[in-house]
Chains A and B, each alone.
Chain A
Amino acid sequence: MKAELSGASLMPLLRQILNVQREFRDLVIAELPLRKKTSTIQNYILECERILFSPRLFREICIRLASLMASHNRETDFITLIFSLEDSTLEALATTVQSCLEPDLVAAMEIAVRELRLHKLSPLDPSLLAEFFLAAIVPFYTAYARQQAPVGEDWYRGWCPVCGQYPVNGYNRPGDGRRILGCWMCETEWSFSRLTCPICSSNQEGQLMLFLEEDPLRRLQVCDDCGYYVKITDCTQAQTGCDLQLENAETVFLDILAQRKGYRPASHPHRLTREMR
């Protein structure tokens, strides 16, 4: 399958990173359990709530991830940096990300990295550092989401109920074909209308969907009203749904093709949409 050309070589490392993240997600839940809040969600939960954070666990995740990176490429050395950081720096990193969560997570992390002058402590590129720390902080979000995300049909909007991010991909679930969207950040999944654009809420009746002939079940749902796209995998006839994180990586070819056509992914959070439009 041609699709493998874009991304297949990443998959072994990607799976390992995911495994680490999910292992730590469970650790975070065990160490920092939360009671389920029942109040009605306005825009999204983390708009007015904070995740629970542990510098110790954060350091441990960083070490695990760093050694993983090093095992794949000796030149990507994050370990030295991590050992040089105080707990207070790690805490500051988390706080900075949270306090400017809304505009753009990757940007927020980059700002945090620069503010804490971490890039001065490491030869690595600041944006790569930001991506690394973001990967390391994800388990705190996924742990939070796992405990607080609404279940069933309580949520029926285009963005993530927990962290407010718009989805970059989703799937039609096995059996009834209901659309499940996933948050690329906190891994929350929720169901949404199949014929509505999650980003701008416009009706997608008869709207364009694109796919490669060799891989007809992985489709781009593009919206000509707002210019964004979402990647959708049709699992209607499958036995199980899909791991949206892995699927996201495996369908990188669709991102390339969508961008070639001038569509954009919607990885910004909900609150910004109006201003951006």
Chain B
Amino acid sequence: MTNHWIDYQHSDVIMAIGVNTAENHPMSMRWIDRARERGAKLISIDPRLTRTAAVADLWLPLRPGTDIALLGGLINYTIEKELYQREYIVNYTNAAYILDSGYFFADGIFSGYAEGSYNRDTWSYELDTEGNPRKDPSLQHPRCVFQVLKDHYARYDAETVCKIVGCSREDFELVASTYCATGAPDKAGNILYAMGITQSTHGSQNVRATAVLQLLLGNIGIPGGGVNAQRGEANVQGSTDMAMLYHILPGYLNMPQGMDHPTLADYNAKETPASSYWSNKPKFLISMLKAWWGEKATPENDFCYQWLPKLDGKNHSHIAIFEAMARGEIQGMFVWGQNPAVGGPQAELERKALENLDWMVAVDLFETETASFWRRPKADPASIKTEVFLLPAAASYEKDGSVSNSGRWIQWRHKAIEPPGEAKSDLWIADQLYKALRYHYSLGGVFPDPILGLNWDYGQGEEEPDIEKVALEINGYEIENHKPLENFTKLAADGSTACGCWIYSGYYNDLEDPPAKRRIREQKGIGTHADWAFAWPLNRRILYNRCSSDPSGKPWNPKVPLVFWEGGEWRMNDVPDFAWKDNPPENTAQSPFIMLPELQARLFSPGMADGPLPEHYEPAESPVHNVLSSQQNNPVITWWQGLGKLATREDFPYIGTTYRVSEHWQSGIMTRNSPWLAEMAPEMFVEISVQLAEKLGISNGSQVFVSTPRGEIKAVAYVTRRLKPMQVDGKLVEIVGMPWHWGYRGLFPGDSANVLTPHVGDPNTTIPEYKAFLCNIRRA
């Protein structure tokens, strides 16, 4: 999230696209309703009449996977009707930058395409003689970003958009006129999204499209605005920040690649840009290496840089890991608080792949489907070789530690009670695991240095580790005296500071009164609550907040001033997100995005795998042809081997889509074992329209089979008017909707929707396409 939950109260129009916020983030409605009490409008864009849509001012039903078509239509509407905020985009974005003359786009393909991937050289700016990008602040140059954007989205006219999306012209016009009116300087439009946007073969571009629209309307960096990704789990923000992902190290430093970064010097040279705050990257990496390997990390040995593993240039994300497992390339696996046997795409493939493991260590509160894959229905334990360890973990209130919410607030949770039986905190388990490994490697082994040399001293023997020591290490400290660092501006690249995750620096900088534990409510103000917990980075609550004021420093909306220039100084209701010290407005007006080399936001982005501008493609499996170009799918999708044959329109005529219900959470392992919740939502069901039910002779409450080439599941049919057949390019299209919370364990077992979903994902992130696939349905 660029903003935070409470800030929703300042929005004038809220557009929830690909997010059922009333159901899956119920407390968001508290703040949406505060805004609505002031007259704000809520728009819901969703294939189903969800609980959010049911209470919204406007609902636009959208065919799964066509978000770019809709958002492109809104971008076009904004430009065509001149609703964009000109002063904002000229100053705060790259709208005026002139593009390289080699850039082009034709029939769904951008320049540089060859054999399933792009050479991105032409997705760049034309440089002047001094090597700086050329700009045209009048936005007239035919190759300036604004004109290119305008041409690109001129194809997304209302008629075409409605044909693709399957909505009525009237609904589209209403949504467009309502939302795009937030281009007025003092109006705030807020886009909320979740998995409906990301779980797609063009998911990253879906997100980009929301950002482009928000930038055009001047909605980024302002109270009540933003691109607000509503994340699905209590600490998925924190686990991402801590780099539980193959491609990064804590604080979003790229993992070293064998070919690109053989040495620390290579890494620093290639990874450190000349401008932007990332020019400090060597400080972040070297401080992390000092946190990890302490005294062992010296300038002479490049701070143990070579002890970090290096990537092989290949994808090692979730889908790739299971593909490798299916090929027998992975022998052992740890799985902590995660349940891919229910939550992973093409679940039967992933369950079967687990059989190739020699060993698995699962850590959870309850017995997961993943840990018990060897005794799943139809499996033969006698033929499964895997040795499985299932370790009992403590629940959230049975241990101490912090979690980061979607608004980047790092909040401390205190231990209230002891865990039951022999259950232990994950911190303890990690500590014991390390100690056992250290013992065995102390007896010898292959390259034991990084393990034995690890800076690891959180507690003795089998006692609970001292979490404060871990928190201090994440926060950062001075090597000399172990004093906590105030924040990351104190980091050094010479080995004099240690810091486990630079963006968290400041969250635990006072051992007596750690900011993450603070609980002081704001009494008067705009809902920033600066003394309640700590928001990374630097306790900043709204990112890019220089944009909340005009170039001269006057707030666009004087009713909710955020950071503004008054009486010859910067005044602030938030920590400024720009170089404000001794810097008057004219010096900061063109550098509000300090993490980008341009220091300005990218309407046109050279950094994506699949194009500098979001372009509509059909999902991997779709009932129709792409109306906009002859390029049916995203041209740089990886077609994984495990995917097998795609569903054909003839055999699998309906669009399948998955979602969640308020009573369950993710793969359901916690909620299906909580009696109150399991009782409220005990059974797996699929939702179909009244028309489809009539056509197939399915009655409400009866059993049905839903199938795809990946498998078949049984569920209760829920015949509902919340789903309606859609007119898509002259064809009537039906949607089969289903929650994905069930599996073969827990109080009320049920079939898993992910048996049906495909092993295919976004080319930038490899997030699977759970939201749009083809399926069939029949009476059981």
Contacts and interface: CB of A to CB of B under 8 A. Distances in A.
Q: Do chains A and B touch in the complex (CB under 8 A)?
A: yes
A153 interface: yes
A116 to B, nearest CB: 43
A153 B414 contact: no
Nearest to B513: A203
B31 to A, nearest CB: 16
Interface string B519-549: 1010100000000000000000000000000
A206 B414 CA distance: 9
Contacts of A205: 414
A154 B525 CA distance: 12
Given A156-B523, A193-B519, 10 more contacts: A153-B523, A154-B523, A156-B521, A193-B521, A195-B519, A196-B519, A203-B519, A205-B414, A206-B414, A206-B416
Interface in A65-90: none
Interface string A143-156: 00000000001101
A203 B518 CA distance: 10
Nearest to A154: B523
A176 to B, nearest CB: 11
12 contacts: A153-B523, A154-B523, A156-B521, A156-B523, A193-B519, A193-B521, A195-B519, A196-B519, A203-B519, A205-B414, A206-B414, A206-B416
Interface residues of A, number: 9
B413 to A, nearest CB: 11
Interface of B: 414, 416, 519, 521, 523
A182 B429 CA distance: 47
Interface string A172-206: 00000000000000000000010110000001011
| 4 residue pairs, one from A and one from B, having the closest CB atoms | A156-B523, A205-B414, A206-B414, A153-B523
A255 to B, nearest CB: 28
B667 to A, nearest CB: 31
Main SS of the interface on chain B?
A: loop
A204 B100 CA distance: 62
A65 B449 CA distance: 86
A74 to B, nearest CB: 53
Contacts of B519: 193, 195-196, 203
Main SS of the interface on chain A?
A: loop
A34 B63 CA distance: 63
Interface in A191-226: 193, 195-196, 203, 205-206
A153 B523 CA distance: 7
A195 B532 CA distance: 14
A144 to B, nearest CB: 24
Contacts of A153: 523
A136 B416 CA distance: 47
Nearest to B523: A156
Nearest to A195: B519
Contacts of B521: 156, 193
Interface in A119-167: 153-154, 156
A195 B519 CA distance: 9
A195 B416 CA distance: 14
A196 B414 CA distance: 15
A195 B521 CA distance: 12
B366 to A, nearest CB: 27
A195 B518 CA distance: 12
B363 to A, nearest CB: 26
A154 B523 CA distance: 7
A193 B531 CA distance: 14
A193 B522 CA distance: 12
A154 B522 CA distance: 11
A262 B519 CA distance: 29
B37 to A, nearest CB: 15
Nearest to A196: B519
Contacts of B523: 153-154, 156
Nearest to A157: B523
Among A154, A196, A205, residue most surrounded by chain B Cβ atoms (within 10 Å): A205
A119 B559 CA distance: 62
Contacts of B414: 205-206
Interface in A48-103: none
B599 to A, nearest CB: 40
B528 to A, nearest CB: 15
A103 B476 CA distance: 48
Contacts of A154: 523
A231 B521 CA distance: 23
Nearest to A155: B523
Nearest to A156: B523
Interface string A7-33: 000000000000000000000000000
A259 B523 CA distance: 34
Contacts of A193: 519, 521
Contacts of B416: 206
Contacts of A203: 519
A205 B416 CA distance: 10
A156 B531 CA distance: 15
A41 to B, nearest CB: 12
B656 to A, nearest CB: 40
B295 to A, nearest CB: 36
B322 to A, nearest CB: 42
Nearest to A153: B523
A153 to B, nearest CB: 7
A207 to B, nearest CB: 11
A196 B523 CA distance: 16
Contacts of A156: 521, 523
Nearest to B524: A154
Nearest to A205: B414
B534 to A, nearest CB: 16
Contacts of A196: 519
A206 B415 CA distance: 9
B531 to A, nearest CB: 12
A193 to B, nearest CB: 7
Contacts of A195: 519
B643 to A, nearest CB: 49
A203 B521 CA distance: 13
B518 to A, nearest CB: 10
A44 to B, nearest CB: 16
A138 B223 CA distance: 47
A153 B529 CA distance: 14
B754 to A, nearest CB: 38
Interface in A212-256: none
A123 B523 CA distance: 52
Nearest to B416: A206
A196 B517 CA distance: 13
A154 B519 CA distance: 18
B525 to A, nearest CB: 11
A205 B414 CA distance: 8
A196 B519 CA distance: 10
A275 to B, nearest CB: 25
A92 B414 CA distance: 54
B539 to A, nearest CB: 19
A198 to B, nearest CB: 15
A205 B523 CA distance: 21
A243 B519 CA distance: 29
A217 B523 CA distance: 29
B289 to A, nearest CB: 35
Nearest to B520: A193
B624 to A, nearest CB: 49
Nearest to B412: A205
B636 to A, nearest CB: 50
A203 B513 CA distance: 11
B29 to A, nearest CB: 16
B2 to A, nearest CB: 27
Contacts of A206: 414, 416
A205 B513 CA distance: 13
B520 to A, nearest CB: 9
Nearest to B518: A203
A196 B520 CA distance: 10
B469 to A, nearest CB: 20
A156 B524 CA distance: 11
A193 B523 CA distance: 12
A192 to B, nearest CB: 10
